[in-house]
Amino acid sequence: MKARAFRRSLLIFAHDTGVAAISFPLALYLQIGEKITRWSIQLIYTWILIFTLLTLGVFILMRLDTAIWRYTSIGDLGRIVQAVLINVSCFFLLLQQSNIAHFDALPPSFSVIQATILSILLILPRIGYKLLKNGTITAIFKYKNTEGKVPVLLIGAGDEAELFIRETTPKHRFPYMVVGIIDNRNSRTGRQIRGVPIYGGISQLEEVIEKLTIHGLRPQRIVITKHKLNIMTTRKLVQLADAIGIPVSRMPVLSMLESVHTNEQKMYLRPINMEDVLGRPQAILDRPSMQKLIEGKRVLITGAGGTIGSELVRQIVSLKPTCITLVEQSEYALYRIDLELAEIASNLHHTAMIGDIRDQARINEILKATKPEILFHAAALKHVPLMENNICDAVLTNAIGTRIIADAACFAAVKTVVVISTDKAVNPTNAMGATKKLAEYYCQARDLEGGTRFVTTRFGNVLGSTGSIVPLFQRQLERGGPLTVAHPDITRYFMTVREAVELVLQAASLENKRGGITVLDMGEPIKIVDLASRMIRLAGLTPGKDIQIVFTGLRPGDKLHEELFQMNETLKATKIPAIRHANPRITNRPLIQSAMKELEAAASSRQTMATIQILSRIVPEYKVSMLKAKMDHKAI
């Protein structure tokens, strides 16, 4: 304990034991009045000494010095009453057992009066100090209903932290539960605000997280409540939090939180953090190896304006590449990411190029001009129901487009090509999954030939991506509901955009056997109905009461449960615990190339039935949905 904190604790104990010494004769006088003069002064002093010393011991054991008076809560007052009751009970038990100091002379009801007087004398100064500082006592009440709340760790033990904790009461329906506070002021370490412990400084963040994890309280988010935190400290905090996979955000200004009491709508429309929806800590990956992969390299990203592509741009910039080339079919999407890149990395050389991955001549032209060393292929059509009605386009973009990228990369001697795949490629029941599976086949075959290295990454649904379930739920919440779920039992694997991109970068940095697939361990699949309920609670509402959830039935191509691996894929661990490596079935490239030419001809001529038949022949797992596809096509 530092000197300042020790002096403060000493002052609190001196106050409390002094109050205890005063309370004893006061309680005795209230009990027997003027009859107190019949007892000797020596006897009364003996009682006071024994009671005071015992009080000091009990209060030290119960650490009443840790609560900050300015933030006194009902929990703190409860601890005081508990300590007093223990103290008075121990006092009378001690006198009775030892038969000293004329115990029988004390009236039987004295213990009740003594406990009451001491509790009042201990509580009143604390409430008075709080009134002096805050002007209200309403904030002393603290509730403990934490169902469905996101555990958070606060940075800064001041007024903002106290207000944030107060907002977590069920009355305000704030969707967070504060599990601890970090503060660089040593004088506050070991103390509490409204029952929430204050730990060490920011440098001890990892140690604090480990301690909370042991107790089942690992935070899912770190919230900076101290608005005057300097830049260097903030940067250090973000680096430390980033290393352990916990996102950092800032608390809104005090006026915004205080307005919740007068404007209920502001509470409902709080932004929903994707990491909160995930409901688990993000995976911890090896960032130094990512830095080594990118630093000083020429990088090209296809689909650079999409959800994954734009996040790739943001993260790659921080890894110090020599230059970045952005390739995107959508003019507006390319404009947005090009503008953002110019703002966040004005000194980095970058080029924005309109390009369709289905245009072989254009792709060859771009690669010849930019000479990338690492190519990230994120361009794809991914919306399952839409692709069920546009199967030819799914084939031309996801399968043929990937083949064009792979062939052009090999011709241009690109060192590494990282291909983005999906869990829908495992035992696919829809065109989107089947075309991505075919893309996996081709890139694995290319990888086994040597030369350009192909790294295929497979992951589940990305929270918040374009067309995903989370933005849909957000729009439905803003309209007042209901939230629509396909089936009560439907599940999906989820990850944040940050995790998805980190997997891509991490996978590219690993030295694995050629021809394989890397997959992030995303934990257990999440029931969509549970996700809907969680989002409702994160908006400060109650599922089934404020917002309803309705079931609409499975969409075309939907599966009840997604898979990450096929039965015949052998799994191997990597040096990163969160990533596994699979060795799937390998297809001979000349054979698959010939079949893809036939598939391309059918899709280009818009022969949907022929396209489905050829696709299901190349990807045998897709046969299960072929009959349905035929029926759907005839119905059109």
pLDDT given for residue 294 in this prediction: 92
User: Is 138's pLDDT higher than 50?
Assistant: no
pLDDT in tens, 226-252: 766 765 677 677 778 767 777 777 775
Rounded to 5°, angle at Cα 138 from 132 and 141 = 115
Mean predicted confidence (pLDDT) in 318-323? 92
Task: Give the pLDDT confidence score for residue 581 in this predicted structure.
Answer: 78
| pLDDT tier at 171, thresholds 50, 70, 90 | low
Can you give 223-269 as a three-state secondary structure string?
Answer: EECCCCCCHHHHHHHHHHHHHCCCCEEECCCHHHHHHHHCCHHHHHC
N residues, the chain: 636
Confidence of residue 98 (pLDDT cuts 50, 70, 90): low
What is this structure's pTM? 0.62
- The confidence band for 624, taking pLDDT boundaries of 50, 70 and 90, is very low
pLDDT at 403: 96
Residue percentage of the chain with pLDDT more than 70: 80
Q: Nearest-CA neighbor of 146 among 189, 101, 177, 171?
A: 177
Rounded to whole angstroms, the Cα distance separating 496 from 336 reads 21
Predicted pLDDT at 273: 52
DSSP 69-138: GGG--HHHHHHHHHHHHHHHHHHHHHHHHHT-TTGGGS-TTHHHHHHHHHHHHHHHHHHHHHHHHHS-SG
Strand partners, 153: 180, 222
pLDDT at res. 492: 85
Looking at the chain, the domain(s) classified CATH 3.40.50.720 span 142-270, 287-630
- Class assignment of domain 287-630? alpha beta
Residues whose CB is less than 8 angstroms from the CB of residue 199 and which lie 6 or more positions away in sequence, other chains included? 180, 181, 182, 183, 189, 208, 211
- Above 60 in pLDDT, residue 258? no
The pLDDT assigned to 466 comes to: 67
Query: Which region among 49-63, 146-160, 313-327, 616-630 has the lowest average model confidence (pLDDT)?
Result: 616-630
- When the pLDDT of each residue in the chain is averaged and rounded to a whole number, the result is 79
> Which has more pLDDT, 41 or 533?
533
Least confident of 107-111, 163-167, 265-269, 568-572: 265-269
Name which of 51-60, 81-90, 361-370, 626-635 the model is least confident about.
626-635
In this predicted structure, what is the pLDDT of residue 3?
66
Task: Assign 119 a pLDDT band (cuts: 50, 70, 90).
Answer: confident
Segment 362-378 mean pLDDT: 95
Average pLDDT over residues 459-476: 77
Give residue 302's pLDDT.
Answer: 97
pLDDT above 70 (res 108): no
pLDDT score recorded for residue 42: 74
- The contacts of residue 461 (CB under 8 Å, 6+ apart) are 423, 468, 469, 492, 493, 494, 495
Q: How many CB atoms sit inside 10 A of residue 134's CB?
A: 16
Q: Which residues of 165-194 are buried (b: 16+ CB within 10 A; e: fewer)?
A: bbbbbeebbbbbbbbbbbbbeebbbbbbbb
Binned at pLDDT 50, 70 and 90, residue 411 comes out as very high
Q: Are 599 and 532 in contact (CB under 8 A)?
A: no
Highest mean predicted confidence (pLDDT) among 21-25, 447-451, 600-604: 600-604
pLDDT mean over 165-179: 71
| Omega before residue 482 within 30° of 0, cis | yes
Q: Are the C-beta atoms of 595 and 523 separated by less than 8 Å?
A: no
pLDDT value at residue 252: 59
Question: What's the chain's Rg over C-alpha atoms?
Answer: 33
What is the reported pLDDT for 313? 94
Res 312: pLDDT: 93
Query: Residues of 435-446 as b/e, b for ≥16 C-beta within 10 angstroms?
Result: bbbbbbbbbbbb
The residue ranking higher by pLDDT, 379 or 33, is 379
| Least confident span in 80-89, 130-139, 457-466 | 130-139
142-270, superfamily in CATH?
A: NAD(P)-binding Rossmann-like Domain (3.40.50.720)
Weakest-pLDDT range from 164-178, 322-336, 354-368: 164-178
Interior/surface letters 467-489, b for 16+ CB within 10 angstroms, e for the rest: ebbbeebbebbeeebebbbbbee
> Between residues 10 and 389, which one has the greater pLDDT?
389
Which range in 46-55, 184-193, 460-469, 550-559 is most confidently predicted, on average pLDDT?
A: 550-559
pLDDT value of position 85:
85
* 140 pLDDT higher than 50: no
